[in-house]
Each structure stands twice: as structure tokens, then as C-alpha cells.
A and B are shown apart, each in its own frame.
Chain A
């Protein structure tokens, strides 16, 4: 197999080697530590006990959901004022306080909570400290049944108001649950609650991928014996087989404008990347290469696709235009780089890289610089997926003994485990799901 890359590869190898040896790559560790020690610049957010002060179980539950969401957003340092250690903090006049937080830069969140019949009413207010000037107020209503979503809504509204970021409390993560003979797709809230199966066909179901409007999930299923492309509508579970050919369909990726699905089709043993128009189902071939081309992921502006290709001899990450032109290689270190996903912010690609026989998660700039290790822990880490605000990555890992879903900040901090029962793989983070006003 002769191609241009083979001729260039000695040069690339030397460049790669120089990159490994250069001070640049050692500086990665220093940058990593600097970010860790500075921490994120967090807004100090004090949260009052719910009024009325008589704490009902429900009020307490709602409050804890909101506090958890605000902490998990990554933007805030939460001071829980119902904590006995903290409850007199607002009354202290002295400058120095436990934890060294500056009262002058803090915000106070107060909520009035009322439960009438089956309906919760919540009035939420933000006040700047130390002036107590009110800067935000909103009323929320919810049935008891959707109390978790109410908490998520409040947390995201507070996050949006204070930071401009829409937050992630309203989002969900789809993933594959591995049973004895079947693999089914399930969806959980971003905090791990409310796991719901969305397929139950007793077959192998793989690689879930959300539509950009959050209403559909595309996936591969062996439901009819052949690995076909399916699209499921979440509101009622109705599913359509979108495959037009008797070939292997895998790794679907919905375009940001919702109009196309990119995927890998394997014909006669040759896997290439194709796009299919959602309306009309017209198929267009993007790569035409005897090696394996797989795992497409779109840039947020829809003009580029990052993918895995074996064309240089080992699996590496490549970028091309969304019409298949201008293919360029992105990764030159490591012998197996795969599963690339383009950050919704447009600037970073996350992917997995095999290192000492195990897969770790890395990010790299779109221009190929600043290779950055996100994980560096035991076991394998696979199938990264970005949160819609580009701040977090979810992935599957067996590092603690079982395959489970994890979430980590893109800089490698704030690692948290989402599932605990094992047999959970292939996560896909939803887009923003909340009702836009």
C-alpha cells in the first residue's frame, strides 16, 4: 500500500520524536499542575435554608438537588448556610472566615418553598453580598413527580444568570448497559439519577448518539441480525431502521444542524465514512481508502469532521472537511489513537490513546498542538463524549474493577463516578435539553 504519508512518515517520525523530547512536552506537566493549584475561579455562592424554616423532607431534598447541581457545575464554591458550622457566617463582622472566602465577592441564594397538594412552588432570589442587593428573582412551579427537574432548572437558571453558561443540570447521558446476552441503551440524568432503559429488544445495541435537538437517539443494533442504523424517538420510543443497505453500520454522529448523520459503513470488509441525509436518506461517501476509517465526529460549525483512520499503518486521528476534502493527520504520538470527539467549543479534540497497553483520555488542539492527558489512572478509559458547554467529558472506565460511566472536567480534575453497578459503557452526552424561553 503506497501513499504519500508513507513517504513522509520518516520525517513525521522524527518530528514526533523531537516533540517527545522537547521542553514543550515536559511543560505540559507544569501547565497541568498550575491549573490544579489555582483551581477554577469560582464564585462563592451561599445558599440559605429554605423558607419556611421548618424543613420538610421534600424541601430538604429539593435543596440538596440544587446545591449538588451548583457544585457539579464547576463554577461555584457553595457555602451551605443550613450547615451548623456555617449558619452564623453572615452575621460575622470580621474579615477572616473559615475557608478564607471573601464575603465581599459572594452571592446569596434564597428560596421560598411551598408545597400545596401535589404542586411545588419555589421563589428563588439572588442577592449580592455584602449589600444584600437583589439581582435576580424567579418563580418556579412543578409537580411533585418532577422535583428533580425543578431542582435542575433552578440550578441552571442561577448558573446562567451568574456566569452566562447554560449549565449542565438539565442534561442527560445515554449509554449502553451490558447484560448476559443483550446490550441495551439507557439514559440517565447527568448526575446519575433516573436510569431508564430506552431499548429492550434483547439484541446487541451499540454506540448511542443524540440528535442536536435532544429528541432522538441514533444507534447501531443487531435487532434484525445485521448491524443496522436505527433512530429512536425519545418521546414515545418509536424506532425506525434507517439502513438502506445490507452492510455494517456503526458509530453514528449527528451533524450539528440536525440534517445529516455521519457514520461508518463497511462494504466487502472496507470501512469508510459516509453521511446520510436525514430527509430523503441520500448517502454520500466521504473517505475512499482501503484502510479502516471510522468514528466520525462533527465540528460545532458543521464544516469539519474528525475521525479515526488506519491509513498510516496504525489507528490515528484525522480531520477532514465535511465533504471529505482536505484530510490532515492530527496525532503523531502513540501507536493507537481513536474515538475522537470535537468539543462543542470548537477548539479541542478529545480522544483515547493507548499507553502501556491501556487507553487513556487525551485532548489536543484542533491544530495538533498541546497534547494533554486528561486521565492517568489504572484500567482502560474509552468512548469520551463532551458536555454541551464543552467543560466536561464523560467516558467509560474499568479502572475500579467494573466498567462504569465517569465524568471529569476537561483539565482532568473533579473526577466523579456516575454508575456503580458495572456493565456500563459507550456514554453519549445529550445537548441542552431545557425548554428555551
Chain B
């Protein structure tokens, strides 16, 4: 729960940075129940005579935490990606070495919170890869916790194959995209 609150604060800060330049009015999405949405629906008569055209509602754009902004806030720390084998979420020996170093940095900088992103290469379906990315992020999170990092400092998220690092369709590119990536936030 606390991690979610911290993330909300982080996102809020990111949002403020984004909005300072925006002139448009931000409309909040009401936090209402699904049932009210369904019960309250207009009786749209969809006959040929009266057709309602749908206007997209301009929602308040909230960006996910931007990695570059994050790293600039905290000095002297660097959390490089760890990579995974194809269709795998278990940590390789190389990954474990990198994570040991990440754990050390986390222990040396107690103010840091870490966002762990799980990613996949483009092969495989969108939905299965969202789940696989989640497994990868969780494998990293579990490893760091076992290394003694307070779970409250770690947050994980999956982007599946939706945010590749490199766009090429080569084995090398795919290997780079199969990754856990990190964003740091100073408390």
C-alpha cells in the first residue's frame, strides 16, 4: 500500500512538471463504480435517423515516471538493466551479479526508492508478455529483498513488449529488450 502511495506522489510530481507548461484544463476522471457507469447510461437511440457521434473525452494525461528525470535527481548511482533469456524469467548468473551491485547501491543510499520494470522482446503475444514481464520484475524484486533490501523501497511494474529499448528485429535487439529496467527516486 505504501509503495502505491509513494508512486502516486512520484507520478504527481512528474505530472506537475508536465503540467507547468500546459494550458489546457485538466478534467479529473471521477472515481466511481462500474455499476453507476452502466446504470447511468443514456438511452442512445441508435437508429439511422439519430446517430450519436462519439467525442473522445480529453482526459488528464498522466505520464509514467520518466527514467532520465529520475536519474538526474540522484547523484552517483547507476542501475543498469539486467537481461533475461528468451521466454525465461529466472535470473541468469550475470543478472545476479548486476543485482548484487544494485543491492549495494541501495544499501549505501538509503534515500533511494527503486522502480523495477519488466520488459519482453516483441515475439509472443501482447497479453502473455505482460504476464512474463511481471514475472521478470518480480524475480528481480524478490532477489533484492532476499539481499536485505526493505520491500517498501521497491516497486515493480510490467510493460510486456510495449516499450522496447531498441526497435530492430535482430537477436541482438531482442536480447536487449528482454530486460528489467530501473528508475530511482529520492525519498
A residues sitting closer than 8 Å to B (CB atoms) are: 140-143, 145-146, 149-150, 153, 183, 187, 196-204, 206-207, 215-216, 220, 222-227, 231, 233-242, 246, 248, 250-251, 264, 266, 268-271, 278-281, 292, 294-295, 308, 310, 314-315, 336, 338-339, 352, 354, 357, 359, 382-383, 425-426, 433-435
Contact = CB atoms under 8 A, between A and B. Distances in A.
A240 B130 CA distance: 22
Closest 7 A/B residue pairs (Cβ): A269-B138, A202-B61, A237-B57, A271-B131, A201-B59, A266-B134, A251-B127
Contacts of B56: 196-200, 237
A200 B34 CA distance: 20
B170 interface: no
A268 B138 contact: yes
Q: How large is the interface on B (under 10, 10 to 19, 20 to 34, 35 or more residues)?
A: 35 or more
A294 B46 contact: no
Contact of B125 (A146, A197, A236, A339): A339
B45 interface: yes
B17 interface: no
Chain B CB within 10 Å, residue with most, of A201, A278, A280, A352: A201
Contacts of A141: 48-49
A7 to B, nearest CB: 23
B55 interface: yes
B58 interface: yes
Chain A CB within 10 Å, residue with most, of B49, B51, B65, B130: B130
Contacts of A199: 56, 59
A142 B139 CA distance: 59
Contact of B57 (A238, A268, A357): A238
Contacts of A280: 35
Given A237-B54, A238-B57, A266 B48 contact: no
B129 to A, nearest CB: 9
Chain A CB within 10 Å, residue with most, of B36, B54, B60: B54
A279 B36 CA distance: 9
B54 A198 contact: yes
A250 B130 contact: yes
B137 to A, nearest CB: 7
Contact of A235 (B3, B32, B42): B42
A203 B66 CA distance: 13
Contacts of A233: 37, 41
A236 B42 contact: yes
Interface string B149-175: 000000011110011000000000000
A279 B54 CA distance: 25
A434 B11 contact: no
Nearest to A382: B125
Contacts, number: 194
Contact of B55 (A237, A239, A270): A237
B11 A224 contact: yes
Given A203-B64, A239-B59, A292 B126 contact: no
A240 B33 contact: yes
B7 interface: yes
Interface string B1-20: 10110011001000000000
A119 to B, nearest CB: 9
A250 B60 contact: no
A240 B127 contact: no
Given A201-B60, A236-B57, A237-B54, A266 B37 contact: no
7 contacts: A145-B51, A150-B48, A202-B63, A206-B126, A225-B7, A248-B134, A251-B127
B128 interface: yes
B51 A149 contact: yes
B41 A215 contact: yes
Nearest to A119: B49
B41 A246 contact: no
Given A199-B59, A200-B59, A233-B41, 16 more contacts: A146-B48, A150-B48, A201-B60, A207-B127, A215-B41, A225-B8, A231-B34, A231-B37, A248-B157, A250-B130, A266-B130, A271-B131, A292-B132, A294-B128, A315-B125, A383-B126
Contact of B64 (A140, A187, A225, A314): A225
B52 interface: yes
A101 B38 CA distance: 50
A248 B139 CA distance: 15
A150 B62 CA distance: 40
Nearest to B12: A225
A223 B41 CA distance: 23
B48 A248 contact: no
A201 B61 contact: yes
A124 to B, nearest CB: 13
